[in-house]
Amino acid sequence: MANQANRKRAPSRIQQRNRKRILDAALEVFSTSGFRGSTVDEIANQSGLSKPNLLYYFPSKGAIFNELMAGLLDTWLDPLRALDPEGEPLAEILAYVQRKLQMSRDFPRESRLYANEIVQGAPRLHAMIEGDLNQLVEEKSQVLQAWMDAGKINQTHPKHLLFSIWSLTQHYADFDAQVRRLMVNEDPFDAAPEYLETLYRRMLTPKG
């Protein structure tokens, strides 16, 4: 009974802090080198903890990655979940574009981590892509198609519309080094919101 009580005991502040240090360090390492190119030693060095101390909290590199991705993916889906079927169609889509762009600004390492995993064939994300993401994309594609069929926005392929929004917004995070070297005299996020809104407004607004 005593052992069972110990297992259910809430983690201490030090334990919570160390877990956060490890996950923050792992995000930096994974987003730079990808899962395959990263090691537990690199994560331990980045976190400022010893390798044995890190392994006390997480038994393997995979365990760290899985916990990191579980939190990331839930956050990653929130902007699309917020697309309201009862809202004004164009306003809802434009708001979604801006939410995705803001995520690239606020969470560039998370975006690069996700992109690295996808480029490698998404070996650790198959279940998420085929499950939660697929279900959400199907649901929102039906919403977009219904708006198109009602003449509220121009006809286009709903899934390709979503893909284009992902590509254009996440580019600013995934290719940050290139973007900033080509725009050395300005913050790329200063003009991006207006540019993307103009682009999608012109694309989706029905004539007349």
Please write the tens of the pLDDT for every residue from 29-88: 998 888 888 999 999 999 999 999 999 999 999 999 988 888 787 788 899 999 999 999
What is the band of 120 on the pLDDT scale with cuts at 50, 70, 90? Answer: confident
Helix, strand, or coil (residue 168): helix
On the question of pLDDT at 153 being above 50, the answer is yes
Class of domain 1-59 (CATH, top level): mainly alpha
Helix extents (H) in 9-88: 13-33, 40-47, 51-57, 61-81
Instruction: Let me know if 183 is exposed, middle or buried by CB neighbors in 10 A (0-12, 13-18, 19+).
Output: middle
Please write the tens of the pLDDT for every residue from 168-182: 999 999 999 999 999
- Every domain of the chain with CATH number 1.10.10.60 lies at 1-59
Q: 7 φ, ψ to 5°?
A: -65, -30
Structure tokens at 46: 């980045």
What is the band of 8 on the pLDDT scale with cuts at 50, 70, 90? Answer: low
Contacts of 70 (CB under 8 A, 6+ apart): none
Structure tokens at 17: 């802090």
CA-based nearest residue to 93, from 201, 208, 206: 201
CATH value of 71-204 in 3.40.50.2300, 3.40.50.970, 1.10.357.10, 3.30.465.10: 1.10.357.10
- Every domain of the chain with CATH number 1.10.357.10 lies at 71-204
